[in-house]
Structure 1
């Protein structure tokens, strides 16, 4: 059973305040899912990463750093995200 959900989000720029606002916005948008997860003692973490590259890099690191978590990458759809093997 999943004990932790981590969502890595592109956006928010480089400013700490805009990242905080974006995190709050996504927390509100996903509020019902967050409450369900927390009621089942599943930790929930929204990580606002700034650029697409930062989001992808943080997501790749999370796969290694948090292998037991359900790690999610959320990026804008204007193009594909490329890794060392091509597209994901």
Structure 2
């Protein structure tokens, strides 16, 4: 039975070159996580790379609102598609 597996690269970076390198090395998606600094700038950078390389982005947003509130996070999406974890605010995500 065939099984498809893919690896997600760490999506939190301040410059696109680091993310591009992971995608070129085989990452099928990029993951943003609050523990690594999911700032609006990191979100924008990651989504920009994902658009250029046609890969998916997953986000675990900032539970403590240290780098912005939900409105700041949504503004950083700039209408681009993203998969969000814990959108209800339980177990992570904006509370």
Per the normalisation by structure 1, the TM-score is 0.36
Per the normalisation by structure 2, the TM-score is 0.34
Larger relative strand fraction = 1
